[in-house]
Amino acid sequence: MKNTVMTLQKMKENHEKAVMVTAYDYTTAKIMDESGVNMILVGDSLGMTMLGYEDTLSVTMEDMIHHSAAVARGTKEAFLVTDMPFMSYQTSVYDAVVNAGRLMKEGRANAVKLEGGSEFVPHVKAIVNASIPVVGHIGLTPQSVNAFGGFKVQGKDEEAAKKLIADAKALEAAGACMIVMECVPAKLAKLITEELSIPTIGIGAGRDCDAQVLVYQDLLAMYGGFRPKFVKVFANVGEQMREGMKSYIEETKSGAFPAEQHCFQIEDSVIEKLY
Ligand code: KIV
């Protein structure tokens, strides 16, 4: 059954947890979709995971459309959310609607996600008015890494916590259908989840959010280097890939691969005529 804004809303009402994971290409999307996740996110994290940038700032609309369209072709049942990249909506309400429309038309997303709180209420309202579902994203918003001065937990003091609550409520009132909370203290994320009628999706925001999201290279240990505190490794796929590649190289060099069963045959009588 296709996951929709309505089915995901029902899940919140029934206290049933939903699961979201990132994907950036057809093959991975197909695996994620067939595994039964409720939502797939084409995150602008693809800047790091797929394109090798050090942050998300260089990601373009063209990058997002290219990857979103590939993921859409591999997705049947999951609800597909695609990120609006840096400077595709911050510049004006008009840009926000035009670019959200492109992610739906060309990227075949089911919803768009944008980072930021109350300051983007006009943008969210305008996109929603164009019949495009919007997922908000508050807390640690990686497109603002330079303004934040690094990747840090958000909402820890009273003022910052009150601002996050106000942001979440403002986004809901503007028509957002869900809100991602990233790196928010668990008790604050619980309070916000209880205050909102729309589902919350946590990443580093504790277990009381209505859904969880992780970057797939993190949960499958495919991405080296820094691993955030909130990541749990569920399978060592990176290690398995390295092992597989080692065997492929060894067997190719030794001549064990390709074996008889990997080769196409021809009658000896035909070959003899060629010498
Ligand atoms: O870009 C991304 O993958 C995200 C998640 C971390 C929520 O926004």
pLDDT higher than 80, residue 150: no
Q: Atom 3 in ligand 1: which residue has the minimum CA distance?
A: 43
Label residue 226 by pLDDT band (50, 70, 90): confident
Q: Atom 5 in ligand 1: which residue has the minimum CA distance?
A: 43
Closest ligand 1 atom to 182 CA = 7
Long-range CB contacts (within 8 A, 24+) of 93-98: 93/122, 93/123, 93/126, 96/120, 96/123, 96/126, 96/127, 97/126, 97/127, 97/130, 97/132
Is 250 among the catalytic positions? no
Please report, as a single letter, which amino acid is at residue 248: Y
Report the C-alpha gap between 91 and 94 in whole angstroms. 8
**Centroid of ligand 1 to alpha carbon of 217 (angstroms):** 12
pLDDT higher than 80, residue 225: no
Could you tell me the pTM of the whole model?
Answer: 0.96
Closest ligand 1 atom to 56 CA = 1
Label residue 152 by pLDDT band (50, 70, 90): confident
Which residues, listed in sequence order, are joined to residue 246 by a DSSP beta bridge? none
113-131 per-position pLDDT tens digit: 999 999 999 999 999 999 9
Report the C-alpha gap between 123 and 259 in whole angstroms. 59
45-63 per-position pLDDT tens digit: 999 999 999 999 999 999 9
Mean pLDDT value across residues 32-53: 97
pLDDT of residue 15: 98
Ligand 1: lining residues by beta carbon, under 6 Å = 22, 41, 43-45, 83, 180, 182, 203, 213, 215
